[in-house]
Structure 1
Amino acid sequence: MGRLMDASEGIKAWIIKAGLAGVGEGELVTGYCERLVQAGVPIWRASVGADTLHPLIDAQGHRWFAGIGVHEEHFHREESRERRDSWLNSTWRWMIENEQPEMRRKLYLGEGADQFPLLADLAAQGGTDYWSIIIDYGAGAALGETQGVALSWTTRDPVGFQQAGMDLIRETMPVFALAYKAAMTVNVARVVARTYMGEDVANRVLRGDIERGKVKTVRKVLWFSDLTGFTRLADTLPRDQLLDLLNAYADCLVGVVHGHGGEVLKFLGDGILAVIGKGGCEACQRALDAASAARAAVAALNEARSAAGLPTTGFTLALHEGEVHYGNIGSRDRLDFTVVGPAVNEASRIQAMSRSLDQPILISATFAAACGPERRRVVSVGRYALRGVERPQELFTLDDGAVQDAAS
């Protein structure tokens, strides 16, 4: 008994130290399992899983095998039928559905193999005993759909798990579950922040850049795009078709922006405000490349959607370059990390000219002047008065001839 308590205290001390140090979930699982084995628990396989808060992923899991190590798994929301069937026939689902926080099946006696495909597979690989526990979080500790953590243990020992080993796991498991939850929470915070704010802004906010009014004046290339005819589409399409269209074109355009080193700051209805680089020739070149890529990507998307009998649309885009105020702006308890300033207003005004000029892509004179050698890729469409801007501005668009010459 004293040896067991010594092992328990040592394992819990390591878990607490690792949790405070910010060790990731995979390393936590590995360290925990290895220390249980060192204490004499004959674990062959361990599995840890939990729901998570992620736009694409329903749940995450870590599977550890003695002598092999840990493997991380993600279960996507749009999962294959095979993976869905695996969950429907799983031990953890049975435990949740039947409100059973604990399950044990002695595989060497044939228990569970005819009920759960997983247990039949483990028995075929030499597993002799399977034990699983679900630890619930309190209502105040839940995050999204993460209501608890599930753990399972399998051994190949001929007589299965002994009581002393199970007591050691039971004694140390709550501490492990708390550390695992803490590591998951940090990752969830990062994912949620990056999903809703973009990577650069999320990293700044999570580093502590949250003081209202704290802004930097920097030069940025601005991308301001909008879908064409969206008001008509919103009035005529059923809700599900409208949302599908919005998401499809957002995937398309945001993918292009991110693929060219840009950062989406916000969605404005069907519009996108993004920044690319820090201004200057190199950033302008990337923005021009992104504009060309967006045009090709939307054309391909429209072709695919038309073939599937789905509604299509196009986009308009303004590219501008100038000084912006970049940082935390808003009320005392509701901030937005964004860009403001005359350059942002001008980009919006330029984009609004696309319909009247019948030019889906418009580029400011400031952007054109900052292009350097890439200036050959744009062509003037004339000078125009912009609402709220004192003087008429020369506007440009992509020179398709120059683009074709560069590609040939």
Structure 2
Amino acid sequence: MNAPPKIDPATAYSDNDVLHWLTNDARDERFIDNIFAEMCLRLQRADIPLKRATLHVVIQHPQWLGAKIMWADGVPGTEMTRADHDVRERPSYIGSPVSEIHDGATEVRENLETDPALGRKHAVYDEMRGKGLTDYVAWPLYHTLGKRHVVTFATDRAGGFDDAHIASLQKLLPILALVSEIRVKNRLARTLLETYVGSHAGELILAGATRRGTGTTVRAAIMICDLRDFTHISDNWPRDDVIDLLNGYFDAISEPIARHGGEILKFMGDGLLAIFPLSEPNACANLLRTVSEARQAMMALNKENGETGRAPLNFGIGVHVGDVMYGNIGSRARLDFTVIGPAVNMASRLEALTKQVGKKVILSQAFADLVKSDFELERLGEFPVRGFNEPVELFAYQG
């Protein structure tokens, strides 16, 4: 919940003042929920008896369909709730005013003072009546190419909104649509970058780190994970089952990485590359905690898969620590934001060695030296590593 906007109670507003503010002075506010909250307060100061308002936006995201921003009189800021992709199959949505707008209605108006038996039947109307609201209106907000979002307003004034109130609110809709579209698209750009390149890389790209060859040197613990026997699985299982297996596997590995401050830079077929920057406290210990939780999650996944007749999934992880170049690499027209360097190559070679030594997780001595006082490691001895001149002392971690 965000902090409430600062409105001078001695200042009187008209609906034109609210429109002017929304058009000219809201440009410095980055977040649509803050703009929406301040707009509602300014509408109150313009003698529009607003008690509750909501903004429903659809944002493409792998985990949720959109969000509802709710402002209520007397409650600081706004409350934001996310809507899952299956929300349109739920009773809370079916038959609701938001669903009516999405289905093509240009307005939904409900007199909440009338006998409930005579009005529309939906839980949201009962909820508003229970809070003493007397009138409710919902309108579409039209974004580019006909995309529809929804804004709603409600009052507890006896007799509801009058014609002047409705006219003032309608006057704001085109500008609110423009202002919200800019913020929603900014959020969409940020969301897509976070989804495809990670939160830290996404922030750098949005800040202007888009030139080929630009980057920084980062000292980090590097983790490369790969699924075993994936070729056999993909050749013998139906396509949808293979995708489902991969998604379950990546969830098991990825969620602990995010919890412990790591960043996944790349999914590589059935593998992934993640780093834990040493600038963050306890980065190496957090990597091993990630490995332990990922192992437990894989055990749970294999148990679930076994109950449906699927073969268990096995994996190998190679871990090293060192300096990596973190930045833009690629062609003039197609860039990849990733890490490269000998340290990444070493982690990749160690992951491959897990097959040879029969261990799921192999650590380099350089990494082990940073954590062996706090974690129980198994010394494996020295092994030649392809691409490196000297044998490397290796350790296994059971987690």
Q: TM-score, normalised by structure 1?
A: 0.85
Residues 111 and 160 in structure 2, CA contact (< 8 A), matched pair in contact too? yes
2:381: which partner in 1? 382
For the structure 1 residues 18 and 231, does the alpha-carbon distance in structure 2 shift closer, same or farther, using more than 3 Å as the test?
A: farther
Residues 142 and 177 in structure 2, CA contact (< 8 A), matched pair in contact too? no
CA distance in 1 between partners of 2:126 and 2:322 (Å): 65
- What does 1:1-400 align with in structure 2 at a 5 Å threshold? 7-69=14-76, 70-79=78-87, 84-97=90-103, 99-110=104-115, 113-139=119-145, 147-278=147-278, 282-307=282-307, 309-371=309-371, 373-374=373-374, 377-398=376-397
Q: Deviation at 1:158?
A: 2.6
3-state SS of the aligned residue for 2:385? coil
Select the structure that is richer in helix: 1
For the structure 1 residues 16 and 303, does the alpha-carbon distance in structure 2 shift closer, same or farther, using more than 3 Å as the test?
A: same
User: Which amino acid in the other structure matches residue 271 of structure 1?
Assistant: G
Q: Deviation at 1:288?
A: 3.0
User: Which amino acid in the other structure matches residue 62 of structure 1?
Assistant: I
Q: Deviations over 1:259-311 (max 9, x none)?
A: 33211111111101111122899543333333333323322332343345444
3-state SS of the aligned residue for 2:387? coil
CA distance in 2 between partners of 1:116 and 1:258 (Å): 39
Residues 143 and 181 in structure 2, CA contact (< 8 A), matched pair in contact too? no
CA distance in 2 between partners of 1:211 and 1:292 (Å): 38
CA distance in 2 between partners of 1:289 and 1:109 (Å): 59
CA distance in 2 between partners of 1:31 and 1:246 (Å): 45
CA distance in 2 between partners of 1:22 and 1:182 (Å): 11
User: Which amino acid in the other structure matches residue 202 of structure 2?
Assistant: A
3-state SS of the aligned residue for 2:373? helix
User: Which amino acid in the other structure matches residue 245 of structure 2?
Assistant: L
Q: Deviations over 1:293-347 (max 9, x none)?
A: 3323322332343345444212101011222211111112211111112222222
Q: Deviation at 1:109?
A: 4.3
Residues 63 and 85 in structure 2, CA contact (< 8 A), matched pair in contact too? yes
What are the ranges of 5 or more consecutive residues in structure 2 without an aligned counterpart? 1-12
What are the ranges of 5 or more consecutive residues in structure 1 without an aligned counterpart? 1-5, 404-408
3-state SS of the aligned residue for 1:108? coil
Q: TM-score, normalised by structure 2?
A: 0.87
Moved over 6 A (4+): none
Q: Deviation at 1:207?
A: 1.7
1:406: which partner in 2? none
Percent identical residues: 30
CA distance in 2 between partners of 1:313 and 1:265 (Å): 23
User: Which amino acid in the other structure matches residue 87 of structure 1?
Assistant: Y
CA distance in 2 between partners of 1:360 and 1:159 (Å): 70
Count of residues in correspondence between the two structures: 385
